[in-house]
Amino acid sequence: MYQSTEEKAQDNHSSAIVLLSVGGVGFILDLIFLFKNPLGWPLFNRYLTTGIMGCLFVLFMVMGVLSLRNAKRFLLQAQKENNLKKEIVGFCDNNLTKEIILDAVSKQDDNSLEVQDSEQTHYFERTLFIKKKISEKYLNLDEGFLDRLVDEYYSRLFE
């Protein structure tokens, strides 16, 4: 299933917040446990436990910083993707109106030997026509991006 870069940015941002929060709070509690020793453990066990947990919490914080960096990168890509999407929707609004699509699909139905009048068949024929026209104008689009865009545009026109 296609996930837009804006959704990826939001996922990375929320992951970064969780990782940084858990890592920071855990590391502080780990330091408290190291110096206060509330369980009364011997020195070796306390150092071993807090050392391993400290490394784990530092790793969480590093992963949080990396997720935050990825979120910023995805936000920049999302702006480009949104601009492309607006451009394609503008093209569709100007060149792929409901009447044009219905006319083109009805001509295809006239040429076929077997005509099926189900709504599902019309859906697939219409979306295939829209995809074809967009793909002719905009080369090398991601297939998932195109499918999602066509579904949104189709829903706006026909439902």
pLDDT tens for 42-83 read 887 889 989 999 999 999 999 999 999 999 999 999 999 999
Could you give the CA distance from residue 74 to residue 67 in angstroms, rounded to a whole number? 10
E strands of the chain, at which residues?
Answer: none
Do 28 and 65 fall into the same domain?
yes
User: What is the number of structural domains in the chain?
Assistant: 2
Q: Domain check: are 73 and 103 in the same one?
A: no
Task: Give the model's pLDDT for residue 113.
Answer: 44
What's the domain range around 50?
1-79
Q: How far is the C-alpha of 105 from the C-alpha of 120, rounded, in Å?
A: 13
- Give per-residue pLDDT as tens, 77-135: 999 999 999 999 999 999 888 888 888 888 776 555 454 567 778 888 889 999 999 99
Give the per-residue pLDDT at 114.
52
| Nearest alpha-carbon partner for 132 in 111, 108, 115, 155 | 108
Q: Tokens 């940084």 sit at which residue?
A: 20
The answer to whether position 153 is within a domain reads yes
Nearest C-alpha neighbor of 129 from the set 110, 89, 111, 102? 102
CA-wise closest residue to 12 among 60, 75, 56 = 75
Whether residue 70 lies inside any domain: the answer is yes
Q: Which of 79, 109, 126 is the last residue of a domain?
A: 79
Same domain, 73 and 104: no
Residue 123 lies in a domain: yes
- 81, burial (CB in 10 Å: exposed 0-12, middle 13-18, buried 19+): middle
Q: Which pLDDT score is estimated for 109? A: 62
Question: 101 near 130, Cβ under 8 Å?
Answer: yes
For residue 2, pLDDT over 80 is answered with yes
With respect to residue 89, please indicate whether it lies within any of the assigned structural domains. no
**Angle at which helices 119-137 and 98-111 pack, to 10 degrees?**
110
- Closest Cα partner for 99 from 158, 159, 27? 158
Residue at 87 is within a domain:
no
Rounded-to-integer distance, Cα 11 and Cα 119, Å: 36
130 CB burial (10 A radius; 0-12, 13-18, 19+): buried
pTM above 0.75, yes or no: no
Q: Do 116 and 57 fall into the same domain?
A: no
Residues 10 and 75 reside in one and the same domain: yes
Instruction: Assess contact for 116 and 128: CB atoms under 8 A.
Output: no
* 156 and 102 part of one domain: yes
- Tell me: do 126 and 66 sit in the same domain: no
